[in-house]
Amino acid sequence: MSGTDKITAAVKPAKHKNGERVNIPLTILLFVGCITILFPLYMTVIIALKSPSEMTNDAMGALSLPKVFSLDNFAEAMRVTDFGHSLLNSVIITGAAIILSLIIHSMAGYVIGRAMSKNKGFKFIYFYIVSGMFVPFAILMMPLVKQTAILGIDNMFGVIILYVVFYMPMNVMLYSGYLKNIPLAMEEAADVDGASTWRTYWTIIFPMMKPMHATVAVLTALGTWNDVMTPLVIMSGSQTTTLPLAQLNFQTQFGTNYNLAFASYLLALIPILIFYIICQKQIIGGIANGAVKG
């Protein structure tokens, strides 16, 4: 057997006993990927359920199951982080950023996406906005801190505005690309019927972009919900805290209370996980739609 035949035989899917072919290399890769994802989650849950003494006295350390399953760490984490207040602030900031992003970025993407092929000026605007994706936050951090302080928006409102600006390049690119799946003939028919551009957008285009709305909402929510740096530098002078900021209480100069920290991480994971599950169907539908029409 030649070298080429050996490679082909190794890559060729094996035949299952029911007649279906099984791609062994891909199956192994998926198995390794699942282990890579599930192992850190297992560690997080186990450590959150253990007491600090169990981690130090147990020979297996953090790997073994706790002797007694207790939720004391979760209760203490909620007390230390003032969970209800911090959760409310995170929900307000994330929710407002999502709503404003869906409205503003979808309209900007629609205008730029439709006019870009006809007017070179809009193409320049598109590349100018998208280029914002390549500017690191570290470069903008100090000027933004000073500007927000001067304008008096070094608070939750300022953080929300910054999130809307930060995610505009990515979201405008997504909306502009998704518009290629929406036939222009539908807008032309609405124009013949006497509908204005504003009415055409809100009654026809905006509802048809529902899968992309879900994608943009999830991406914006993930980045906003888990962000530490922006609230930390903008709201440093106020008493307002989000969940990621409150979780910094577990880290001191002498060490980190991993039991309480991991319990707090799991509590913070639940809301965003529920939000993703709600939007998951629309995201998958948007991907499938783009694959068929693209």
How high is the pLDDT of residue 21?
Answer: 72
H or E segment at 187? Answer: helix 184-192
How high is the pLDDT of residue 17?
Answer: 53
**What distance in Å separates the CA atoms of residue 237 and residue 146, rounded to the nearest whole number?**
12
Rounded to two decimals, the pTM is 0.80
pLDDT tens profile 142-184: 888 889 889 888 889 999 999 999 999 999 999 998 888 888 8
How high is the pLDDT of residue 62?
Answer: 64
Would you give the DSSP letter of residue 180? G
pLDDT tens profile 40-52: 888 888 888 887 7
Q: Which two tokens stand for residue 46?
A: 């186990």
**What distance in Å separates the CA atoms of residue 209 and residue 281, rounded to the nearest whole number?**
14
Helical packing angle, 258-293 and 72-80, nearest 10°? 90
Q: Which two tokens stand for residue 2?
A: 């030649």
Amino acid letter, 114:
R
10-residue mean pLDDT series, the chain (294 residues): 50 52 81 85 84 66 72 86 90 94 94 86 90 86 89 90 94 89 85 86 89 89 90 82 85 70 88 85 58 42
